[in-house]
Amino acid sequence: YSLSGSTEEFLLNKIGHILESRNGRISRNELEIIMNYNGDYLNRIIKKYTGLTLTEYSLVFTLKEAQRLLLHSDKGISDIIHDLGFSNRSYFYKIFSQKYGMTPKEYREKNR
């Protein structure tokens, strides 16, 4: 019997668990080593099932963790940005605002 669809779904699920455990912060090379699959193949699976590239899919998990920290911790926004591995504050604000329609500060104030 054929497992191709099931195998791809299993791999996507495993990628999701890895990204979640690392808050989306993993390089393609690290993912290749952990998964023992070619990065192009993994990227194709992610694209097929999510419509996103590995980088874009990783950001979903990073922003989810940022959202969690903003709502459930007293960490400053600068600390959250640093903890999530961003070196460019403006970039973080840009992608957060695109995803949630407001700045991290506004999000925290509105949803707490």
The full DSSP string for 9-55 is: HHHHHHHHHHHHHTTT---HHHHHHHHTS-HHHHHHHHHHHHSS-HH
**pLDDT over 60 at 1, yes or no:** no
Local confidence band at 7 (pLDDT 50, 70, 90 cut-offs): confident
**pLDDT over 60 at 91, yes or no:** yes
Q: Which two tokens stand for residue 110?
A: 């509105």
**pLDDT over 70 at 6, yes or no:** yes
The whole-chain average pLDDT of the chain stands at 93
| CA distances (Å), origin 16, targets 77, 87, 91, 92 | 25, 24, 23, 21
What's the pLDDT tens digit per position in 12-46? 999 999 999 999 999 999 999 999 999 999 999 99
Could you give the percent of the chain with pLDDT greater than 70?
Answer: 96
Local confidence band at 2 (pLDDT 50, 70, 90 cut-offs): very low
What pLDDT, on a 0 to 100 scale, did the predictor assign at position 88? 95
